[in-house]
Amino acid sequence: MSDLKKEIDDVSGVDTTGHEWDGIKELNTPMPRWWVYTFIVCCIWAFVYQFFYPSWPLISDYYKGYFAETNRDRLNDELGNVAQQRSVTLDKIRTMDLEDIRRDNALNTFALAGGKAAFGDNCAPCHGTGAAGFTGYPNLNDDDWLWGGTLEDIYTTISYGIRSTHEETRVNDMPAFLKDELLTKAEIEDVVTYAQSLSDRSIKATESGRVLFADNCALCHGEDGKGLREFGAPNLTDAITLYVTDRDSMIDIVSNSRKGVMPTWSGRLDEATIKSLAIYIHSLGGGE
Ligand code: HEC
Ligand code: HEC
Q: Which of these, 153, 249, 136, lies nearest to 196 by C-alpha position?
A: 249
Q: Is the pLDDT of residue 2 over 60?
A: no
What per-residue confidence (pLDDT) applies to 13? 84
Residues 6 or more apart whose CB falls under 8 angstroms from that of 90 comprise 272
Question: What are the pLDDT digits (tens) for 197-249?
Answer: 988 888 888 899 999 999 999 999 998 999 988 888 999 888 788 887 788 98
Please report the pLDDT score of residue 3 as a whole number: 61
Looking at the predicted structure, is the pLDDT value of residue 94 above 70? yes
Average pLDDT, integer, range 47-65: 89
Atom of ligand 2 nearest to the CA of 213: 37
- The answer to whether 246 touches 150, Cβ cutoff 8 Å, is no
How many Å lie between the centroid of ligand 1 and the Cα of residue 251? Answer: 24
Q: How far apart are CA 288 and CA 282, in angstroms?
A: 7
Is 158's pLDDT higher than 70?
Answer: yes
Q: Is pLDDT above 80 for 285?
A: no
Tell me: pLDDT of 259 over 80.
yes
**Ligand 2 pocket list (CB less than 6 A):** 172, 174-175, 177, 191-192, 195, 216-217, 219-221, 231-234, 236, 241-243, 245, 250, 253-254, 258-260
63-67, 105-109, 165-169: range with lowest mean pLDDT: 63-67
pLDDT-derived band of residue 68, with 50, 70 and 90 as boundaries?
confident
Q: What is the mean pLDDT of the chain?
A: 90
Q: Is 131 in the pocket of ligand 1 (CB under 6 A)?
A: no
